[in-house]
Amino acid sequence: MEMPRNLRELRESGWKSRSVKQEIQENFLRALSDGEVLFPGVIGYDNTVIPEISIALLAGHDMLFLGEKGQAKSRLMRSLIRFLDPHVPYLDGPGIPVHEDPFHPISAVGKQYVASQPAEEVRIAWWPREERYAERLAPGTKFADVIGEIDPAKLIGGVSMATEEALHFGLIPRMHRGIFAMNELPELDELVQVGLFNILEERDVQIRGYPIRFDLDLMILFSANPSTYNRSGKVIPQLKDRIGALIQTHYPRDRDLGIQMVEQEAALDLGGPYPVAVPFFMREIIEQITIQARKSKYIDQESGVSARFSIANYRTMVASARRRAVLLGESPAVPRISDLGHLYASSLGKLELDLMGSHQMSETQVLDAIVGEAIRVVFEEYVERHSLVEIGEIFARGVKIEVGDLLPSSHYADRLKRVPPVWTKAFEVNAAEDPAMRASCVEFVLAGLYSLDRISRAQRHGQVSYEFE
């Protein structure tokens, strides 16, 4: 159906004005009633965060998303766009500063445009929902950026300083009838916080002492890290008090959810001319590395360990395996423990050391300790589940094995003339005969036995050799 293009057609169409929050509430209720997935792509929040957001939307609250980095705060805020109407009409007249509701204009220019023109002459345009969301990063944000400033050019043109025509509006007034999000709220200048407090309280704009009464209609969202938000003096109490709902996010509560999230966000094509088969234990180790980092006394836990840490490491591991497969002519590529030696590139810089707890350890040493602990945790689970000690016994007969990220899979097979039956049960049943998969399993067992102090390890020129003492 063709959209109305003037005020008379809009009235005849039966379109009704709603506030942004009413619009979101009604669309959200419809999605909830229809059983839709409310927040596509968000994993691990079904019983915690999503119910709290749902209640806040139905309550008509502005929201603060409080959580450490990499907990999908920005994604959740941006996802609220889907509960807006596909398009809303606005006045398409000259000089109108914001997207005015045709039935309820708030600016002097908009009111004058509607009052001075016949309904069929008042032009209407349509604002798509994708453009009704804006966000800003707090550090460096000035009052003029988000609220506004007096425009010197308009003063020179003869406009009175005491009128709204003299103002240049910032991002928040321009998002009238939309959603505005401010990231890292505690880093926002106190003067801007005061301006936001006034908007949350009165929904009006005050610039340089001129109380321009603007009945702004918008949903305001914030994000913050707990360590800075809860620090005294970082956010003015009046602003905290006016935020309707505080939504606390968290990292995945179990490893399988973390693996699911990593695979979704990494978005890797494991097929193609150089396919990759990732053993499940390698996926577990990648996620366990992140879990161990979040527990480590060497890491500054107030800073957090982002989900991006897992995602970057997973991509690096797969890339290392694929590179080896191409160079050695192997297919499929199968990630091994030795591929984790390349995680320095994707990990260093994402971990912030606790200067008190690290005892002068370097970031590389801390990462090595975390990776080793992750391997131990996962290996112990496999030992308990599959009695992999039987596999280790074959290496106890004086076998010395050298491993490395560029060694051919046949290198491992030559040293394994007899494989215990438990091997097939323990690892990748449908691929247990593949040399590359077996090579990966060998490295996992050796690294696991080393983590339990069952064998020794020596490293030289980038190659690692394991031997029973």
User: Are residues 85 and 148 both part of a single domain?
Assistant: yes
- CA distances 41 to 34, 73, 76, 296, Å, are 18, 13, 10, 29
- pLDDT computed for residue 2 by the predictor: 84
Among 248, 281, 310, the domain boundary falls at: 248
User: Are residues 212 and 300 both part of a single domain?
Assistant: no
- pLDDT computed for residue 426 by the predictor: 47
Q: Tell me: pLDDT of 358 over 60.
A: no
Among 204, 230, 248, the domain boundary falls at: 248
Distance in angstroms (rounded) separating the CA atoms of residues 302 and 391:
41
- pLDDT computed for residue 385 by the predictor: 67
User: Are residues 197 and 79 both part of a single domain?
Assistant: yes
Say which residues have a Cβ less than 8 Å from residue 127's Cβ, sequence separation at least 6: 87, 88, 89, 90, 99, 177
Q: Tell me: pLDDT of 469 over 60.
A: no
Distance in angstroms (rounded) separating the CA atoms of residues 408 and 388:
24
What is the β-pairing status of strands 205-207 and 463-467?
unpaired
- Tell me the CA end-to-end span of the chain in Å, nearest whole number: 80
Distance in angstroms (rounded) separating the CA atoms of residues 192 and 452:
55
- pLDDT computed for residue 309 by the predictor: 93
Cβ atoms within 10 A of the Cβ of 232, count? 6
Q: What is the DSSP string of 68-98?
A: -TTSSHHHHHHHGGGGS-SEEEEE--TT--S
Q: What's the pTM?
A: 0.86
Strand partners, 179: 133, 219
- Residue 156 in any domain: the answer is yes
pLDDT grade, residue 332 (50/70/90)? very high
- pLDDT computed for residue 203 by the predictor: 62
Total number of domains in the chain: 2
User: Are residues 157 and 300 both part of a single domain?
Assistant: no
- CA distances 353 to 153, 198, 227, 298, 300, Å, are 50, 39, 16, 6, 5
Among 248, 278, 294, the domain boundary falls at: 248
Which pair of tokens denotes residue 463? 């190659």
- CA distances 356 to 50, 190, 239, Å, are 36, 31, 34
User: Are residues 104 and 86 both part of a single domain?
Assistant: yes
Amino acid, res. 111:
K
Q: Tell me: pLDDT of 359 over 70.
A: no
- Residue 433 in any domain: the answer is yes
- Residue 119 in any domain: the answer is yes
DSSP E strands in 331-414: the ranges are 400-403
Distance in angstroms (rounded) separating the CA atoms of residues 180 and 174:
10
pLDDT digits (tens, 9 = 90+) for 8-31: 999 999 999 999 999 999 999 999
pLDDT digits (tens, 9 = 90+) for 281-299: 999 999 999 999 999 988 8
Q: Tell me: pLDDT of 319 over 50.
A: yes
Distance in angstroms (rounded) separating the CA atoms of residues 179 and 24:
10
The CATH number assigned to the domain holding 207 equals 3.40.50.300
User: Are residues 163 and 305 both part of a single domain?
Assistant: no
Element (H, E) at 223: strand 218-224
Distance in angstroms (rounded) separating the CA atoms of residues 112 and 98:
14
- Residue 297 in any domain: the answer is yes
- pLDDT computed for residue 251 by the predictor: 93
User: Are residues 52 and 90 both part of a single domain?
Assistant: yes
pLDDT digits (tens, 9 = 90+) for 94-116: 988 889 999 999 888 899 999 99
Whole domain around residue 278: which residue ranges?
255-467
- Residue 96 in any domain: the answer is yes
- Residue 2 in any domain: the answer is no
Say which residues have a Cβ less than 8 Å from residue 194's Cβ, sequence separation at least 6: 236, 239
User: Are residues 299 and 202 both part of a single domain?
Assistant: no
User: Are residues 40 and 142 both part of a single domain?
Assistant: yes
User: Are residues 300 and 368 both part of a single domain?
Assistant: yes
Mean residue pLDDT across the chain: 85
- pLDDT computed for residue 430 by the predictor: 43
- Residue 86 in any domain: the answer is yes
Q: Tell me: pLDDT of 421 over 60.
A: no
User: Are residues 244 and 260 both part of a single domain?
Assistant: no
- pLDDT computed for residue 416 by the predictor: 61
User: Are residues 244 and 261 both part of a single domain?
Assistant: no
- Residue 1 in any domain: the answer is no
Instruction: Give, to the nearest 10 degrees, the angle between helix 435-451 and helix 363-386.
Output: 110
Q: Kindly state the average pLDDT of the residues 340-366.
A: 81
